[in-house]
Amino acid sequence: MNFLVIEGNIGAGKTSLAKKISHDYNARFVGEQFADNPFLEKFYENPKSYAFTLEMSFMAERYSQFTSELQNYNLFSDFVVADYYFIKSLIFAGVTLNDKEYNLYRKLFNIIFARLIRPDLYVYLHKSSDKLKANIKKRGRSYESNINTEYLSKISSAYFKYFKQQNEFPILIIDANNIDFIENEDDYHKLCDTILNSKYKKGITRIIH
């Protein structure tokens, strides 16, 4: 495997896991640069007014970062771990935009997505909305303070809806509600074994840890 994606809802621990794997397995880490987005805090304060602007800016930023980061690597020999994939743009847009905005957004997304490399394995860390909310509170980002469980549930549902329609690359859905891959080394090593030492077919594979 050369290109691994670790994803999940807000607060699922995807960045922490991706960084830990990249460090322990001598991989190159590609992390989403979302903190500098000038519309993010405004969106959380007023979603209807800033949704389309936010999603368009995220799509542009992700495409720019994704292509510039990956073109520096040889995906036939380097091991690359990313904490997001471009489909994240479509997932969140489907929740935040109205129908007319989303239809336009999807047309632009499809044009760009057709050009992008597919991952060897896409891992989705699933956690309940309550656990996500607790993790979000723990990390204490002020602009995330207004995120509610209803919004998190909609994001989770949007991911699963997309997964059911996708068969271009393997998707490994891991129920991570009862494991702590950050503080518990046994949990972490078992998770790494599941991700790195098995082969998965295109489409969905579900695993409960």
Residues belonging to the active site: 83
The three-point CA angle 84-193-157 to 5° equals: 40
End-to-end Cα, the chain, rounded Å: 22
In terms of Cα–Cα distance, which of 126, 120, 88 is closest to 200? 120
- Compute CA distances 151 → 95, 157, 196, whole Å: 8, 10, 31
Dist CA 99 CA 94 (whole Å): 8
In terms of Cα–Cα distance, which of 10, 7, 5, 6 is closest to 128? 10
- Compute CA distances 8 → 78, 129, 156, 157, whole Å: 24, 12, 8, 12
Reported residue count of the chain is: 209
Per-position DSSP letters for 158-191, written without gaps between them: HHHHHHHT--SSEEEEEE-TT--TTT-HHHHHHH
Residue ranges of alpha helices (H) inside 25-128 are 40-45, 47-70, 87-96, 99-113
